Chains A and B, each alone.
Chain A
Amino acid sequence: MKHIKVLGPGCAKCKTTYNNVLEAIKQTGVEAEVIKIEDIMEMIKYDVLTTPVLMIDGVTKVKGRVADINEIKQFLTA
């Protein structure tokens, strides 16, 4: 079970990242829990500077840009 977090204040790029994560999970069939963090107070706990941020199992994988589906699939299956 992977724990995935998408951090971002709800801008277009953050939504795209979130949807890409869902799609990547569907395509790989990996069991995962996805949490979307849109609250600023919550976000600063992770010391985020640029959004969107993609975290998998507590590790920041991508920040400041949209992670594409293939990229996320690699993270999930690695």
Chain B
Amino acid sequence: MFNWLQYFADWLIYSVFGISAKSHLGEALDFFVFDTLKIFILLFIITTIMGGVNSYFPVDKVRNFLSRNKMYGLEYLFASTFGVITPFCSCSSVPLFIGFVKGGIPLGITFTYLITAPLVNEVAIAIFAGTFGFKVTAIYVGTGIVLGIIGGYVLGKLKLEKFLSPWVQGIIANASTEEELLEEKQTLTQRFPTILKEALNIVKGVSIYIIIGIAVGGAMHGFLPTGFFEHYINKGQWYAVPLAVIMGVPMYSNAAGVIPVVQVLVAKGVPLGTAIAFMMGVIGLSLPEAMLLKKVMAWQLIAIYFGTIAFFMVLSGYLFNFIL
């Protein structure tokens, strides 16, 4: 699918710039050009598609849908899937949390959405597809959805309402079902310019992280020998996966910056599951998000929330190592 791009990168670096294909520099630059272009193309396509879906299912609609429908547990699946579709910024987590519980949506389902939303988003999917191919991407998205469902369900069963800030408990007590949204009907042709503009904005916004990520990855790719990390990290070490998640949490980065680096870790011998667990820790759990959540919940709940998610991240890391 991207053969033509590889030819282009080879041609540019080896013929136009005349850098030897056998040199570390040539190898690193070739990797950089190919990966950057491939990821940008995929990113643009996927953000446009997701933008289109999102234009029809904005988060307000999702909230109202979840608020009005009781579906015998299916709502967890919906909340998690919606988490994938809707774009998410950690600074929206608090208003979103309040908005959900205000609509009478149970805590567990709210958590499901909050777990999946940062973990699986359009940027992560595009970069994942660009670096690891579509099969691994599908497994990743599937894992993210299941992780959200199980994590949210477990958190919901723990009866954690008492750890919410008193004013949030007040909101829950007065929760009411959301009304149907009034929205103007728009045709796809009317929506398309906005969708396209949004997609370009997203690509523009993350481009710097992608370029830095791929540059770091490219440098490691060209200069580190294959199997470099195997000596330190391998599947046999049971503690590698939990350690990867724990190391990932304080690192605050987005999918755009961390995935190209993770790819190189894998290429140089880190087991894929361990690398993905690390990545989930980096993008799915962040300290700034914890600081924001402090406004609506006691630290015990934040600790339980983070602990539960981290636990399931570790679990999926082992699972990935087992099946891939």
Contacts and interface: CB of A to CB of B under 8 A. Distances in A.
Interface in A24-49: 40-41, 43-44, 47-49
B230 interface: no
A47 B99 contact: yes
B225 interface: no
Contacts of B90: 11
Interface string A56-74: 0000000011100000000
Interface in B180-211: 198, 201
Contacts of A20: none
A49 B96 contact: yes
Interface of A is mostly: loop
Contact of A51 (B60, B91, B102, B201): B91
A36 to B, nearest CB: 14
B87 A49 contact: no
A48 B99 contact: yes
B60 to A, nearest CB: 6
Contacts of B95: 9, 40, 43-44, 48-51
A13 B201 CA distance: 12
B59 interface: yes
Interface residues of A, number: 19
B106 to A, nearest CB: 17
Contacts of A10: 91
A49 B59 contact: yes
A50 B96 contact: yes
Contact of B92 (A12, A41, A47, A49): A49
B107 to A, nearest CB: 17
Chain A CB within 10 Å, residue with most, of B91, B96, B99, B296: B91
Interface of A: 8-14, 40-41, 43-44, 47-51, 64-66
20 contacts: A8-B91, A11-B90, A13-B89, A14-B91, A40-B94, A40-B295, A43-B95, A47-B99, A49-B95, A50-B59, A50-B96, A51-B91, A51-B92, A51-B95, A64-B58, A64-B59, A64-B89, A64-B92, A65-B198, A66-B201
Interface of B: 58-60, 63, 87, 89-92, 94-96, 98-99, 102, 167, 171, 198, 201, 292, 295-296
